[in-house]
């Protein structure tokens, strides 16, 4: 990603509505859908500046890797986790059959070879382990945000399932999320395309009031997503295991 994107992420991910609400949703998904045993081994693949490490660490012993040196430094300082240098699919710095849970949160869309990257993570999973995956949804939502973040693609449900199965992983649960705000996000991005406007950085911190309102609306989905798959949304979530 662009250096300024990492800088905004490091500055905002503890309080920005999108990061806060996603962590709340994922916490309930892990607790209700995966239920990892106490003390289990957890890996975050592509941890960025470390905003998810504390959330994941409440479920077990956390390890992580990240390609960008600056992001690794911030993540290590923030979490005290020894974040290793790594890249998908060819430089995963951990041995096979080690982890009970691997989290790959909005990372797969950055990987040139997504099937190869998924396969590499499947190899470090123990038998019976789970992969928790989130990705941005729908190619028609492509915007300047995707360009700035160096995304290679956005996914729909069928496409994500196809990639996961091609990597010899078995999908167990698939749901869209960020559904309540989907009409707003889709409307803004489609209007920008039609009018030729240059959209603002949508990962910038909004006003405190708007930040609380958006966080509350998005995080409310934590009561639904762990229990019942949603039919559309700005993002996609999957739990998979080694086939």
The full set of domains in the chain, from first to last, is 3-242 (3.40.50.150)
Stronger pLDDT, 237 or 78, i.e. the higher one: 237
Say what the pLDDT of residue 10 is: 86
Confidence of residue 202 (pLDDT cuts 50, 70, 90): low
Query: What is the tens place of the pLDDT at every residue in 21-30?
Result: 999 999 999 9
Say what the pLDDT of residue 200 is: 53
Question: Hey, is 243 helix, strand or coil?
Answer: coil
Question: Hey, is 72 helix, strand or coil?
Answer: helix
Q: What angle do CA 119, 120, 123 make, to 5 degrees?
A: 90
Percent of all residues in the chain with a pLDDT value above 90, rounded to a whole number:
84
**Mean per-residue pLDDT over the chain, rounded:** 94
Contacts of 86 (CB under 8 A, 6+ apart): 45, 65, 66, 67, 92, 93, 94
Among 138-142, 166-170, 190-194, 214-218, which is the least confidently predicted range? 190-194
Question: Hey, is 224 helix, strand or coil?
Answer: coil
Whether pLDDT at 194 is above 80: no
Contacts of 96 (CB under 8 A, 6+ apart): 123, 124
Do residues 62 and 81 lie in contact, with contact meaning Cβ atoms separated by under 8 Å?
yes
């Amino acid at each position: 990603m662009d250096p300024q994107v990492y800088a905004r992420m490091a500055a905002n991910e503890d309080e920005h509505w999108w990061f806060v609400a996603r962590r709340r949703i994922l916490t309930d998904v892990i607790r209700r859908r995966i239920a990892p045993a106490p003390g289990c081994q957890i890996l975050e693949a592509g941890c960025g500046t470390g905003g998810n490490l504390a959330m994941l660490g409440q479920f077990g012993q956390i390890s992580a890797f990240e390609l960008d040196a600056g992001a690794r430094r911030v993540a290590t300082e923030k979490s005290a986790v020894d974040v290793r240098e790594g890249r998908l699919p060819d430089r995963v710095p951990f041995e096979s059959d080690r982890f009970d849970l691997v989290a790959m949160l909005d990372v797969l869309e950055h990987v040139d070879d997504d099937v190869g990257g998924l396969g590499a993570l499947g190899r470090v999973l123990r038998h019976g382990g789970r992969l928790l995956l989130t990705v941005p949804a729908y190619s028609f939502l492509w915007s300047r945000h995707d360009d700035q973040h160096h995304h290679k693609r956005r996914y729909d449900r069928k496409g994500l399932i196809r990639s996961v199965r091609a990597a010899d992983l078995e999908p167990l649960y698939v749901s869209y999320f960020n559904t309540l705000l989907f009409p707003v996000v889709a409307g803004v991005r489609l209007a920008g395309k039609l009018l030729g406007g240059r959209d603002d950085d949508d990962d910038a911190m909004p006003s405190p009031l708007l930040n609380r309102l958006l966080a509350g609306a998005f995080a409310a989905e934590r009561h639904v997503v762990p229990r019942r798959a949603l039919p559309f949304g700005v993002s996609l979530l999957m739990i998979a295991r080694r086939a």
